């Protein structure tokens, strides 16, 4: 798999490391503000741009993307949640802000068309594997640890859950990654770069998906007395309803 290790990494102001208990306070809470440095806040389009730049650098070796290529990546249907339909003007507007923030840099080479590259290593003070984890969360939002390991492994080697946990702990301590459910089987995490006003919707989406998941399990259990075909149909309908609800809530989050 092609990585982006050839990328130039000039020094930028780094996000300071946090000291203290990361899991004890939620982003935006008074306790969190007292004990942790501020994490950059990005809107939905900005998060998608940074995620795409990291993903393409790691999976295709394209460290530099044109505006058109980046817009196509933002609107890609696979490995994106929610789906977006951005035009190049919308992407360019947010690119200008990301360049100002130091998250992205514009490069002018021999060609006349400017290209863009991420600066996530210095901007968030993360390594190669941590960058893959953060990028996956930026592209898809909240997900279980199992989903995260499987998806991020296409960008960096994360051989097992123990390796993922080891990589996550420093990110959680610094609020770059946030735990949305208690540790254990099926734990859900997300990135910490949401806008303050988005956090209530993020948590509600996770709580709703949990309730819908429980309903799907009940439906499957109740179907045990029916023929196999009917049980399969009931389970598929329950799962489709759950997926539709999650996608609706994600659209609300990114549209706020």
Task: Give me the phi and psi of 66, to 5 degrees please.
Answer: -75, 165
Asked whether the whole model's pTM tops 0.85, one would answer no
Domain 38-191 has CATH 1.10.3720.10: no
Of 25-39, 112-126, 140-154, 219-233, the least confident: 25-39
150-163 confidence digits (pLDDT tens): 999 999 999 999 99
pLDDT over 70, % of the chain: 76
Return the half-sphere exposure (C-beta side, CA atoms, 13 A cut-off) of residue 225: 2
Give the separation between CA 171 and CA 177, rounded to whole angstroms.
5
């Amino acid at each position: 798999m092609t990585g982006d290790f050839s990328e130039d990494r000039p020094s930028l102001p780094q996000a300071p490391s946090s000291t203290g208990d990361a899991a004890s306070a939620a982003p935006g809470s008074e306790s969190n503000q007292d004990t942790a440095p501020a994490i950059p806040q990005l809107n939905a389009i900005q998060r998608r741009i940074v995620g795409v730049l990291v993903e393409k650098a790691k999976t295709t070796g394209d460290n530099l993307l044109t505006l058109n290529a980046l817009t196509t990546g933002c609107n890609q249907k696979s490995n994106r949640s929610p789906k977006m339909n951005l035009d190049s003007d919308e992407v360019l507007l947010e690119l200008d802000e990301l360049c100002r923030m130091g998250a992205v840099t514009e490069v002018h080479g021999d060609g006349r068309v400017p290209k863009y590259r991420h600066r996530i290593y210095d901007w968030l003070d993360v390594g190669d594997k941590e960058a893959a984890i953060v990028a996956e969360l930026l592209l898809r939002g909240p997900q279980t640890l199992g989903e995260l390991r499987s998806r991020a492994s296409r960008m960096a080697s994360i051989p097992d859950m123990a390796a993922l946990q080891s990589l996550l702990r420093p990110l959680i301590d610094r609020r770059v990654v946030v735990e949305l459910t208690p540790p254990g089987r099926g734990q859900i995490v997300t990135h910490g770069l949401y806008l303050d006003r988005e956090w209530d919707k993020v948590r509600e989406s996770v709580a709703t998906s949990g309730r819908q998941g429980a309903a799907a399990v009940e439906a499957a259990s109740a179907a045990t007395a029916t023929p196999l075909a009917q049980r399969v149909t009931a389970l598929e309908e329950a799962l489709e309803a759950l997926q539709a609800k999650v996608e609706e809530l994600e659209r609300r989050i990114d549209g706020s």
